[in-house]
A and B are shown apart, each in its own frame.
Chain A
């Protein structure tokens, strides 16, 4: 009787702990997704404005080839890096979701850590360029 009870309690505890890590990972991925969307919504218009200003500034100085407009080229490069990082963030979230669906705790944790690190890095990059 004792043996069966211990087995039952063990199964319940294992399932409960499993649900625990899944919930934690899930909320981490949700947070990363919301942060990514918020960063794009706030950062995109500001980055576009910067690039547009750089383009107009060059045009006013008679530079009509975008490749010759270094301020514009730099701005486009920063925007491209941010966009690529934001896509990488969403892909990390997708990886985390996939790992969660197959109960792969290690991969889910690694994907969540990568997503959260990307949120931090993107924010840092935007602040360094005076966007956020």
Chain B
């Protein structure tokens, strides 16, 4: 009995670490959104606006040069 208690006592810290590790493994298996995905999306938003503004500036610039 004393041996069993001693084993449980020593195993307690490892048990919590094991459960934590398993939960992280399950999370990783679900392949959630990564930091790179987020950075990529921010870059896509920025380039969307920049590209559109450049194209629209071109419309005005062409009209302006036609006038001149």
Q: Which residues of A contact B (CB under 8 A)?
A: 1, 4-5, 7-8, 11-12, 14-16, 18-19, 22-23, 26-27, 29-30, 33-34, 36-37, 40, 44, 47-48, 51-52, 55-56, 58-59, 62, 64-66, 69, 72, 76, 79-80, 83, 86-87, 90-91, 93-94, 97
Contact = CB atoms under 8 A, between A and B. Distances in A.
A93 B16 contact: no
A40 B45 contact: yes
B59 to A, nearest CB: 5
A52 B59 contact: yes
22 contacts: A4-B5, A4-B12, A5-B8, A7-B12, A15-B16, A16-B23, A19-B19, A19-B27, A29-B32, A30-B32, A30-B33, A33-B33, A34-B33, A52-B52, A62-B67, A72-B56, A87-B42, A87-B45, A87-B46, A93-B33, A93-B38, A97-B38
Nearest to B11: A8
B64 interface: yes
Given A29-B32, A33-B38, A51-B52, A19 B26 contact: yes
Contacts of A48: 48, 52, 55
Interface of B: 1, 4-5, 8-9, 11-12, 15-16, 19-20, 22-23, 26-27, 30, 32-33, 35, 37-38, 41-42, 44-46, 48-49, 52-53, 55-57, 59-60, 63-64, 67
Given A19-B26, A37-B41, A40-B44, A52 B56 contact: yes
Contacts of A14: 16
A29 B23 CA distance: 17
Contacts of A37: 41
Given A22-B27, A48-B52, A97 B12 contact: no
Given A86-B41, A90-B45, A97-B35, 20 more contacts: A5-B8, A11-B12, A12-B15, A12-B16, A12-B19, A15-B20, A15-B23, A18-B23, A22-B27, A30-B33, A33-B37, A33-B41, A40-B45, A48-B55, A51-B52, A64-B63, A64-B64, A66-B60, A87-B46, A97-B33
